[in-house]
Structure 1
């Protein structure tokens, strides 16, 4: 019998003045339990500019959404902000189905990657 391998990973880096958290794999209840404390700690930094990159996420359920909402709420309470890099079509569909797209500020790529970041709906960022 082999050991159990986690179906998700998290990497963090600072780029473009923001803390970028790259999530990869299945963001479900186990991921929420394992990653939640670390993400909430980062979101709780005073005036933190936090970006969560969902491009590597292959599965997102209600627990993953709850994790993102808690991080957003914590960042706002601490005077910071949270932005989310769009994931693939399956992940994007989850936000659309549960009508949570408007709850987040969306980017097409993380800051500091040389790819223009901004809203997809054609609006001009404030």
Structure 2
């Protein structure tokens, strides 16, 4: 069993949650509880940095959907950053890529107003591949 590593950094009106390891049935409760605590603190915008995700299955995807739902209920914008190919592929196959705001190092997509500093932080801190 691979442990899921979760950390968060807070600055101004945003929080960056860094996820490393596998997102699956075993780690879903950890991701859910951790992100719920961060979102409930009302940081403004939450960015989930997925650059360290090595595996994701349907349960991991379901966890991300639940996080998105909770963020929406709290009125908190949620962005996914640095999604590796394994995550992007699953999002595309399930047509959920249109449901999530995904940002990458290339900055091809502009973050919502007020999130440019957060996006810069994630881009500088994460080994994201240009897409």
Q: 2:75 aligns to what SS in structure 1? A: coil
Q: 2:119 aligns to what SS in structure 1? A: coil
CA offset at residue 106 of structure 1? 1.1
Q: 2:66 aligns with which of 57, 67, 70?
A: 70
CA offset at residue 47 of structure 1? 6.4
2:114 is aligned to none
TM-score (norm 1): 0.77
- Please say if residues 49 and 122 of structure 2, whose CA atoms lie closer than 8 Å, have aligned partners that are also in contact: no
2:89 is aligned to 93
Alpha-carbon distance between aligned partners in 1 of 2:89 and 2:71, rounded to the nearest angstrom: 24
- Please say if residues 45 and 78 of structure 1, whose CA atoms lie closer than 8 Å, have aligned partners that are also in contact: no
Alpha-carbon distance between aligned partners in 1 of 2:87 and 2:64, rounded to the nearest angstrom: 13
What are the ranges of 5 or more consecutive residues in structure 1 without an aligned counterpart? 122-126
Q: 1:59 aligns to what SS in structure 2? A: strand
- Please say if residues 43 and 72 of structure 1, whose CA atoms lie closer than 8 Å, have aligned partners that are also in contact: no
Alpha-carbon distance between aligned partners in 1 of 2:10 and 2:120, rounded to the nearest angstrom: 9
RMSD of equivalent CA atoms: 2.5
How many residues in Structure 1 have an aligned counterpart in Structure 2? 114
1:113 aligns with 2:121: yes
After superposing on structure 2, the runs of 4+ consecutive aligned residues of structure 1 that deviate more than 6 Å are none
Larger Rg: 1
1:49 is aligned to 45
1:21 aligns with 2:29: no
CA offset at residue 40 of structure 1? 1.7
Q: 1:103 aligns to what SS in structure 2? A: coil
